[in-house]
Amino acid sequence: MINVTLCTLTVHGDAPGTAVMRITARTVDDDVGGRYEPTFVYASLTVQATVPFPNPAGGNFSPPTDLDGDGLYEDLDGNDFIGFNDVVIYYKNMNFIESKQPLAAFDYDGSGFVGFNDVVKLYQMV
Ligand SMILES: [Ca+2]
Ligand SMILES: [Ca+2]
């Protein structure tokens, strides 16, 4: 058996939630009429929403952004770049991140929790 990627699918999440996706190939054949029966795998898709961080000057910053699309949100003040202010916001809002934000979006070191090492990781990205 040879594993061959038949397609790559990109999906966009419009609202928070979880869904299970299954893609079924109806007909797959080769140039000489040979038929194939591809296997499929289930994919679980989870869409999480981030919320804007509170601005000490009043109100909230713009929503945080994931500038490079890797699933980690490093631009906490939503100004479209990673700067020292993002590090300060992270440090001052660690409890806010734990209680209000999707952890995976702000767990830069992959430890499974919000910690000082995440602050250091973000600082190293500035
Ligand atoms: Ca990112
Ligand atoms: Ca920023």
Q: How far apart are CA 57 and CA 35, in angstroms?
A: 65
Q: How far is the CA of 47 from the centre of ligand 2 (A)?
A: 22
If you measure from the C-alpha of residue 108 to the centroid of ligand 2, how many angstroms do you get, rounded to a whole number?
15
What contacts 18, CB < 8 A, 6 or more positions away? 44, 45, 46, 47
From the CA of 106, which ligand is nearest?
1
pLDDT: which is higher, 21 or 96: 96
- pLDDT for 6 beyond 90: no
Per the DSSP assignment, residues forming a β-bridge with 54 are: 60
pLDDT of residue 72: 95
Helix (H, G, I), strand (E, B) or coil at 95: helix
**pLDDT for residue 49:** 86
What is the 82 CA–ligand 2 centroid distance (Å)? 4
49 or 80, greater pLDDT: 80
Query: Alpha-carbon distance 31 to 49, whole Å?
Result: 45
Ligand 2 centre from 12 Cα, in Å?
23
Contact 91, 121 (CB under 8 A): no
At 120, is the pLDDT very low, low, confident or very high (cuts 50, 70, 90)?
Answer: very high
Does the pLDDT of residue 39 top 80, yes or no?
A: no
Summary mean pLDDT of the chain: 90
Residue 115 Cα to ligand 1 midpoint, Å, equals: 18
C-alpha of residue 89 to centroid of ligand 2, in Å: 9
